[in-house]
Structure 1
Amino acid sequence: MIIGIIGGGQLAKMMAQEARKLGLGVAVLDPQEECPACGLADYRIAGSFMDGEKIRKLAEISDVLTYDIEHVDVETLKELEEEGYQVHPSPRILQIIQDKLVQMETMKRAGVPVPKFVKADKDELEEKAREFGFPLVQKTRRGGYDGKGVVIIRDEHELTKLLPADSMLQEFVRIEKEIAVMVARDQYGNVEVYPVVEMVFNEANILDFLVAPAKIPDEKAKEAQEIAIKVVEALDGVGIFGIEMFLSEDGRILLNEIAPRPHNSGHYTIEACLTSQFEQHIRAITGLPLGSSELLIPAVMFNILGKGYGKPRVVGLKEALSYPGVYVHIYGKPLVRPLRKMGHVTVVNRNLDKALEIVHKVKEIIKVVGDGS
């Protein structure tokens, strides 16, 4: 069986590693000549994620299609699905996810708790913002990720910060913690839900580090898992899904965003769980039984973000690996740029506080820098 992946980044690489372990073949579509997943692929097609002809070519050499990025040509994928090609998660889901307003409307109809929101077209942003009330969060309907396309407007004086794009204006939630849950669902409706994790973001709104399990009451963890399952079942999703949520200061759990693919908040599962998110995704989309999502050991994960520009050079690897329970993943991206995700580190320890202590030390040691810095 050949798994066709649209996208050849780090998520595709880690999917391909799991596919290989199960004896499955891999085909990748990516515009980069040296994409992280390219070295693991049996077939590589060079091309844009929006190139319908190249996507169709990938489908013709694959038994099932999936993707590691949402910004792809959905119309071609819908045509392929209608023609009988296997595409998981369905492009119908991808179409919902690509538009943040449609995503929230769909979830609200399904009874999923969401922040208050309103549609705001490009030419009515200021008027809608005043009507909605401050503070608020503007999210552009399309194209945003890792904090891009998101602006906080605290009062009328900050209306000049509004992004000129069709948007959704959303309630500014006073957050106690940002949390996430990975959910796997197979073609028969079976579900595996992972522990709730808590996330800390940096100034650029990129995940800085993550703690598994989240330090929240058991009843709140159970509620978050139930909401995450409800989201995936409402979508009739097949594959792995990252469900990001807010735990508000007043105790509400509200949906933030959905990722229909392996997700940054699930990287810890490689070392900490019986079945990683990547193996789970491969199992789900190929009709294999889902694995157990049981957490074997507490974990803390942090992203290694690029420093400078140029070809990557890893600094501090030897010293970082001298600490117990440290696992380093370098993605193999050919070029560094500031804040680009170049790898991640997971630290496991029976004592979560000890894992956090090690993380804060290792974060200062290991770097990926550009040779042109």
Structure 2
Amino acid sequence: MKFKDKTKQKIGIIGGGQLGKMMILEAKKMGFYVTILDPTKNCPAHSIADQHLVADFDDREAIKKLAQLSDLITYEFEHIDVEVLKELEAEDYKIYPTARSLEIIQNKYHQKNVLKQDRIAVPDFRKVTLPEDIKEAAQEFGYPLMLKSCTGGYDGKGNALIDSQSEVENAFQELGAGKTPLMVEKYIPFKKEISIIAARGLTGEMKVYPAGENVHRDNILYETRVPAEISSELEQKAEEFAKEVLQVFEGIGIFCVEMFVTEANELLVNEIAPRPHNSGHYTIEGCVTSQFEQHVRAITALPLGDTTLVRPAVMRNILGSGEEGKAEVVGLEPALAVEGVKVHIYQKQISRPGRKMGHLTVTAESLDKAVERALEASQLIEIKGKD
């Protein structure tokens, strides 16, 4: 695919949150003009976007207008009306990742089916229509089970752990009583969670980043450590899985492939995100090419960049604390005094408990040192709501 002069190329982004903002920072370095679509007037990306369409994400006409203003469209989250993207592709507008990729990934059941058909290992699963389907799955998989909404869930929302038959009915009701599609998975008592950030360009070129080891708290990503403490054989297998995923989904841009490492040292693919991912934020300081620069390169037909890890890195999210209110940053100066620390504040106007308000990354001569310094810095900085 050939483009006109890259410096005159226009990128449209659906979403103006922190991921959109970090995409724009890299796109601007390379001379691109960027328009965002976001309903929030003072969203994180507003101050650096060349143009901002203030409209709801489900506003079909606004998305079409974004396409008319852009040479290509990308997005920072999955919950988009895929039908309007299909219509735009039919009119020869460029959408990356494609509407097909997004449509499959939006539905976790379809996503798992595609992976299974391609012989990529996933936890055992089945579709759920009634509580009896969950009980039948339990006869096959045993308890505990994980009940999931097929669409719309994130950061643990839309999931319910079922430990026994007595909990089936409540879990079914909690997730909408079948009003939206549900699936049930065999619970995996994993020993590690890892993710691979991988990119595929318009020419089919692929680049894979080192595996990151993820730690979650209350179903929200708390920390990513790189390199993951896994064997070289397991790392190679994880990279192969990620490349297979990119090919199966015809991925263009950055994809994140989350995986479980089981007690038997086997890999199971958990979920896929067709965009830059929280667990890839370490690449900004930790790798030669960040995931955000790589995404821009991939969707604009530029050569993909070097994914080498420069130094061991640890990324920690900075979550909102205290009450909901106007965001106030406390402790930035002492946090930055810790060796190797870089702080990213997303400039969200309102802080809420558990909301992703920023992150910090530490690079160091060893992973142990990076972990130690990340802990120290994260205890010094806070973003809280202020009346």
TM-score using structure 1 length:
0.97
Residue among 70, 73, 81 paired with 2:81: 73
The whole-number CA distance in structure 2 between the counterparts of 1:238 and 1:142 is 22
* Letter of the 2:315 counterpart: M
User: 1:303 matched to which residue of 2?
Assistant: 317
Structure 2 stretches of 5 or more lacking a match?
A: 1-8
Shift of 1:161: 2.8
* Letter of the 2:157 counterpart: K
User: 2:4 matched to which residue of 1?
Assistant: none
The whole-number CA distance in structure 2 between the counterparts of 1:180 and 1:351 is 20
User: 1:184 matched to which residue of 2?
Assistant: 199
Residue among 343, 348, 352 paired with 1:333: 348
Percentage of matched positions with identical amino acids: 49
The whole-number CA distance in structure 2 between the counterparts of 1:122 and 1:292 is 49
User: 1:137 matched to which residue of 2?
Assistant: 146
User: 1:212 matched to which residue of 2?
Assistant: 226
Shift of 1:131: 3.9
User: 1:292 matched to which residue of 2?
Assistant: 306
- 1:231 matched to 2:245? The reply is yes
Q: How far does the alpha carbon of each residue in 1:281-327 deviate from its partner, in whole angstroms, 9 at most, with x for none?
A: 00000111100111111100000001121111101100000011000
Q: How far does the alpha carbon of each residue in 1:45-101 deviate from its partner, in whole angstroms, 9 at most, with x for none?
A: 111111111100000000110000100111000110111011000011111111100
* Letter of the 2:149 counterpart: T
- 1:146 matched to 2:146? The reply is no
Q: Is the 8 A contact 1:122 1:167 kept in 2?
A: no
Residue among 242, 263, 276 paired with 1:249: 263
Shift of 1:127: 3.9
The whole-number CA distance in structure 2 between the counterparts of 1:114 and 1:103 is 10
* Letter of the 1:35 counterpart: C
Q: Is the 8 A contact 2:147 2:171 kept in 1?
A: no
User: 1:319 matched to which residue of 2?
Assistant: 334
The whole-number CA distance in structure 2 between the counterparts of 1:284 and 1:109 is 27
The whole-number CA distance in structure 2 between the counterparts of 1:332 and 1:136 is 39
Shift of 1:110: 1.3
Structure 1 residue matching 2:244: 3-state secondary structure: helix
The whole-number CA distance in structure 2 between the counterparts of 1:148 and 1:168 is 14
* Letter of the 1:86 counterpart: K
The whole-number CA distance in structure 1 between the counterparts of 2:91 and 2:339 is 51
* Letter of the 2:55 counterpart: G
User: 1:116 matched to which residue of 2?
Assistant: 124
Structure 1 residue matching 2:242: 3-state secondary structure: helix
Residue among 29, 38, 45 paired with 2:46: 38
The whole-number CA distance in structure 1 between the counterparts of 2:294 and 2:13 is 15
Q: Which residues in structure 2 correspond to 1:51-70 (within 5 Å)? A: 51-70=59-78
Shift of 1:126: 4.4
* Letter of the 1:157 counterpart: S
Structure 1 residue matching 2:260: 3-state secondary structure: strand
Structure 1 stretches of 5 or more lacking a match?
A: none
Structure 2 residue matching 1:199: 3-state secondary structure: strand
- 1:193 matched to 2:208? The reply is yes
The whole-number CA distance in structure 1 between the counterparts of 2:132 and 2:66 is 41
User: 2:288 matched to which residue of 1?
Assistant: 274
- 1:362 matched to 2:370? The reply is no
Q: Is the 8 A contact 2:126 2:137 kept in 1?
A: no
Q: Is the 8 A contact 1:120 1:128 kept in 2?
A: no
Q: Is the 8 A contact 2:190 2:260 kept in 1?
A: yes
The whole-number CA distance in structure 2 between the counterparts of 1:238 and 1:129 is 35
The whole-number CA distance in structure 1 between the counterparts of 2:132 and 2:63 is 37
The whole-number CA distance in structure 2 between the counterparts of 1:130 and 1:243 is 27
Q: Is the 8 A contact 2:327 2:383 kept in 1?
A: yes
